[in-house]
Structure 1
């Protein structure tokens, strides 16, 4: 098992509010730079790179990737702080909220990819997702990581996102490097392997939680967000207009505005 200290951690901003930020699959900690700037000095963002992402070492395939990533994120919780997670990072943030409620003041889950929720609430939308995901799933099975990364990136991008050939070679290489972790967490995301939906587990996350989705995202995502809102004791949902799945990267100003409003509301209670 990797030592949590082997993970690269980036610090963004110098604000008084300590904020743990957890990026999505095939991205890196620098994805939070836009949000850090938009928060205008209100927070200090502690942003680790997951294994096989950014400047962290590669995952060697040993151990459970979801457990490793959770452990490495939890190692940053040195005091009570807020947490924001995007996509797979949102899943890590949700788990931290259930396992370390005394160390998390609030959580923002941006498009958390907890498909097991939608399998219970809207199975037809999961079937639609699975059908659309089949090309990159086939590429992963075939071991064509470059094609898998290209198709995975396209599926979760909007029509106005840069096309694969237009991305810098360094960006493409980073995506290819990280895409092998996708099948490693499939059972967690789709089958709730860790039992987060078991009776009483989500009840532990009593802190205020905001769940964000983009208005142009895949339809399964708001179904997940609304399903989590119903299951969590203190959660609300909001929509970032004109955004797809990559909400905090494509719309950092809108994301910051909703996050700051959420923080203000939690202070006022």
Structure 2
């Protein structure tokens, strides 16, 4: 067993789907999307380690991205539709590369695999974040991260909420080695090319420029890939635009 807290919504039980959330999120935000797709699939979603009601990450080897991947993998007991957002999308992609036969369709929403499109400015920004955390300036690091990726108003957070987010910033920096340097070897030769399931890359039109650059790099190597950009949306589109995201996921599910 994975030891993760698993949420599941009503749906078509003969077609399971697994959804993986972003950093500093939790599985609950898949609820509206699961409801919209209930006629086609039954979505389950774990709270990733250190998030929601799942156990904290102890910080010991392996690295955080590997730890998450190993925790999620036991939830896949038959070929299924795999959906991921942000960091969760990179875990979904890592699983698909390692076991393409386990994936019926793959929907990647804003995958933050920076190694696919490394820009000095993006790498420097992540390194700056790491240095802030190392110097115990967690509040400043958290504010900067949320300003770029979170879509969360820091000033509206309760003291408990701020404390939780500042703890989770450690997970952000712990996962960056895999995202920046591809320590999980997601981009290894022949890896992306081995995924024969239909893949859909979804992004917000107002997301950081690195997101379409990553999508370009991944799409160039995936054998069966579609792309969709949602007008008016940014990085947190599964939360801000759940109905439109569900409609896009449906298109990919129907292709499988």
Q: TM-score, normalised by structure 2?
A: 0.91
Q: What is the 5 A alignment of 1:43-122? A: 43-64=41-62, 65-119=64-118
Answer whether contact 1:226 1:237 (CA < 8 A) is retained.
no
Equivalent residue number for residue 28 of structure 1: 26
1:258 to 226, 242, 248: 248
Structure-to-structure mapping, 1:123-134, within 5 angstroms: 126-130=119-123, 132-133=125-126
Matches within 5 A, 1:166-245: 166-245=156-235
Change (3 A) 1:74 1:162: closer
- Aligned residues: CA RMSD: 1.9
Aligned length: 254
Report the Cα offset of residue 204 of structure 1.
Answer: 1.7
Residues 42-74 of structure 1, C-alpha deviation per residue, up to 9 Å, x if partnerless?
Answer: 322111111111101111111222121111111
1:213 and 1:49 map into 2 onto residues whose CA distance is 22
Q: CA deviation at 1:41?
A: 4.1
Aligned-partner Cα distance in 2 for 1:52–1:43: 27
**Equivalent residues of 1:135, 1:151 under 8 A apart:** no
What is the alpha-carbon distance in structure 2 between the residues aligned to residue 212 and residue 19 of structure 1? 17
CA displacement at 1:117 relative to structure 2: 0.9
What CA distance in whole angstroms lies between the structure 1 residues aligned with 2:36 and 2:88? 20
Q: TM-score, normalised by structure 1?
A: 0.87
Q: 1:220 to 1:35 in 2, by over 3 A?
A: same
1:155 correspondence with 2:148? yes
Match of residue 143 from structure 1: 136
Please list every run of 5 or more consecutive structure 1 residues that lacks an aligned counterpart in the other structure.
120-125
Matched, 1:19 2:17: yes
1:214, 1:245 within 8 Å by CA — same for their partners in 2?
A: yes
Alpha-carbon offset, residue 12 of structure 1: 2.1
User: Aligned to 1:207, what secondary structure does the other structure show?
Assistant: coil
Of the three residues 8, 13, 19, the one matched with 2:5 is 8
Unpaired runs of at least 5, structure 2:
none
